[in-house]
Amino acid sequence: MDLSALNERQREAVLHGEGPLLVLAGAGSGKTRVITYRIGHLIERGVPPERILALSFTNKAAREVAERVQDLVGKRRSEGLTVSTFHALGLQILRAEVRRLGWRGGMSLHTESDQRALVRQVVRELGLKADPAEVQAFIGYWKNQGVGPDQVPVSGGASSALRRAYRVYQDLLRAQNAVDFDDLLLLPLEIFRDHDDARLFWQERFHYVLVDEYQDTNPVQFELLRVLAARRPNLTVVGDDDQAIYGWRGARVELILRFEEHFPGARVVLLEENYRSTATVLEAAHAVVAHIDGRRPKKLWTRAGPGRPLGWIEAADGRDEAEQVASEILAERFRRRRPWSDFAVLYRTNAQSRPFEEAFRAQGIPHRVVGSTRFYDRKEVRDLLAYLKAVVNPRDEASLIRIANVPKRGLGPKTLLGLQERARREGISLRQALRRAEDLAPHARAGAQTLVALLDRYGRRFRQEGLTSQGLRDLIEDAGLRAEVEAAYRSPKAVARRLEVLAELVESVDDAPRSGGR
């Protein structure tokens, strides 16, 4: 195998012999090349492919590694090589060892929709006042920490109700001979802990283990690696602590920072030559990350030259920034005849998409929001807008139906259906039917009176004052939307994100251009 395409540091990593190896690979430094060449080198050294395991975090990355290895050593010589995601490996182990869990028959893997349905069943059976999505996130978080329902600590927002939901959820899974996605890593560890022969078999199965994007590993993935490499610590991991951005889904950057502590005698190779960017870009990026506490010292460099200088704009606020970006996109499109697909806008939080969406709509720029819900499609935004529509338009039945029971006030679907039938029968609006709802149950009657009074009060206020940010803040409080968010989500971060979205909508009132007339 020709190694002339590798630089000195890449060759050092590829030719490493036995023992643990940490390859700290900066962005664009050829980390995938190192993994594939190292696998190829091991095969050329005489290591049977079936004794090699390469792990990645996506199926696409795993396929890319497998294809590159085939290109290096040929398809026949790479047969038996295992290149997979962590979860695919866990599924392989479970299918072979699931009988050790004492389950009858085979095993089924629940899809995400199956999980949601099961969590909803748990919430319903336990009578919990909790959002099923938050319960599901709670269970997934602790599974990714390698913690079962009986080991979840009492502190840290883990209420007894949530711990009980986790326990019942696992019992229902077991009763169905089913596992969910997170179990694919947690249960193999349980098997290895309780069955020495199973642990020994899989340790003997793989003599060399390679891991891509190691900075994204969570505690349960780390424990699985530590078990597999316990007898033969030929573990090669490639990653970059500067690219650790998945802490929100359980990844622990300290796992890469403490690699030599976890695997004594480890060799460390730095990949600092960048093949993707210009020197100007690298210098700017280094200036940003150099001051991060605890990071491993490294500085990327390139032979590509300085390149074009970076540009920036100064904007008065988010709306001004979005308008400048939209104008620059239009100028570039017509100046250089670029297609729309040449442009991308990155922002830090989902709530920041709102001014860009508005600016692009105003300028007629086609766009799509990737990886998140459009600002105006978010539940909290749609609820508040429905309140506004119901306030200003007493005959907006769709908006009134949406917010009638948000927050809960005894006006559920069955009650609303009866009120709609009465409204049609008597030729009145749904709002008028709510105003005359004397025959409803006491709780529903009180809820109807409270809702109608709220809509009437703010209707008068907005006619007198116009729509102001303070008026909108008061409506959020008086309608109970803030309390609704705080009650619906257990995680303080989830609450903060959703309140941030509402705050962004309030700010849009001040941002809106004012006309001189009515």
User: For residues 131 and 489, is the Cβ–Cβ distance under 8 A?
Assistant: yes
pLDDT at 293 over 90: no
The domain total for the chain is: 4
Domain extent at residue 214: 8-90+187-271
Q: Residue 432: which residues within 8 A CB-CB, separation 6 or more?
A: 423
What is the structure's pLDDT at 492?
76
Quote the percentage of the chain above a pLDDT of 70.
95
Q: Cα separation of 175 and 173, whole Å?
A: 5
Q: Are 182 and 144 in contact (CB under 8 A)?
A: yes
Q: Let me know whether 141 and 197 are in one domain.
A: no
Same domain assignment for residues 365 and 422: no
> Looking at the domain assignment, is residue 98 inside a domain?
no
Residue of higher predicted confidence among 225 and 383: 225
Are residues 411 and 499 part of one domain?
yes
Backbone angles phi, psi at 293, to 5 degrees: -65, 135
H helices present in 3-106, as ranges = 8-14, 31-44, 59-73, 86-97
**pLDDT value of position 72:** 94
What is the residue-averaged pLDDT of the chain? 88
C-beta of residue 114 within 8 angstroms of C-beta of residue 183: no
Burial class (CB in 10 A: 0-12, 13-18, 19+), 389: middle
Is the four-CA dihedral 247, 250, 255, 256 of positive or negative sign? negative
Say if 370 falls within a structural domain: yes
Largest CA distance in the chain: 87
| First vs last C-alpha separation in the chain | 77
Q: How many CA atoms lie within 13 A of 79 on its CB side?
A: 3
Q: Judge if 204 and 265 occupy the same domain.
A: yes
Instruction: Please tell me the predicted confidence (pLDDT) of residue 420.
Output: 86
Which tens digits make up the pLDDT trace of 61-118?
999 999 999 999 999 999 999 999 999 999 999 989 988 888 765 677 887 777 888 8
pLDDT score of 7 more than 90: yes
Q: Are residues 422 and 400 in the same domain?
A: yes
Read off the CATH number of the domain in which 127 is found.
1.10.10.160
Beta-bridged to residue 269, according to DSSP, are 23
Provide the angle, in degrees to the nearest 10, between the axes of the packed helices 112-126 and 160-175.
120
- At residue 81's C-alpha, the angle toward residues 75 and 87, to 5°, is 130
d(CA 289, CA 309): 19
268, 207, 275, 218: which is closest to 238 by C-alpha? 268
Residues 65 and 152 grouped into a single domain: no
Residues 74 and 191 placed together within one structural domain of the fold:
yes
Enter the tokens of residue 488.
């619906």
Note whether 1 and 15 are within 8 A (CB): no
What pLDDT, on the 0 to 100 scale, is given for residue 427? 87
Q: What is the CATH number of the domain that holds 191?
A: 3.40.50.300
469-486 average pLDDT score:
87
Asked if 207 and 232 touch (Cβ cutoff 8 Å), the reply is yes
Residues with Cβ within 8 Å of 397's Cβ and at least 6 positions away in sequence, in order, are 420, 429, 430
Query: Hey, what are 266's tokens?
Result: 């480890």
pTM: 0.66
Whether residue 3 is contained in a domain is answered as no
185, amino acid identity: L
- Considering the domain architecture, whether residues 418 and 389 belong to the same structural domain is answered as yes
| Residue 193, pLDDT above cutoff 80 | yes
Q: What are phi and psi of 239, to 5 degrees?
A: -175, 180
Tell which of 357, 375, 393 closes a domain.
375
Residue 290 lies in a domain: no
**Same-domain check for residues 262 and 383:** no
| pLDDT tens-digit map of 43-67 | 999 999 999 999 998 889 999 999 9
Residue 295 covered by a domain? no
pLDDT at 211: 97
Q: Which two tokens stand for residue 379?
A: 């539940």
Would you state the pLDDT for residue 374?
A: 66
Angle, helices 492-511/379-392, rounded to nearest 10 degrees = 40
List, in order, residues 6 or more apart from 160 with CB less than 8 Å away.
Answer: 154
Instruction: Round to whole Å and give the CA distance between 284 and 281.
Output: 5
> Domain for residue 231, yes or no?
yes
How does DSSP assign 181-236, residue by residue?
TTHHHHHHHHHHHH-HHHHHHHHHH-SEEEESSGGG--HHHHHHHHHHTSSS--EE
Query: Distance (Å, rounded) from C-alpha 308 to C-alpha 326?
Result: 22
Tokens for 70?
A: 């085939």
CATH of the domain at 455: 1.10.486.10
Give the gyration radius of the chain's Cα atoms: 29
- Whether residues 235 and 169 fall in one domain: no
**Are 218 and 126 members of one domain?**
no
314/7 Cα distance (integer angstroms) = 41
3-state secondary structure 46-61: CCCHHHEEEEECCHHH
How far apart (Å, rounded) are the C-alpha atoms in residues 181 and 99?
19
Q: Is residue 293 part of a domain?
A: no
Look at residue 359 and tell me if it is in a domain: yes
Whole-number pLDDT of residue 40: 96
The torsion angles phi and psi of 23, rounded to 5 degrees, stand at -105, 105
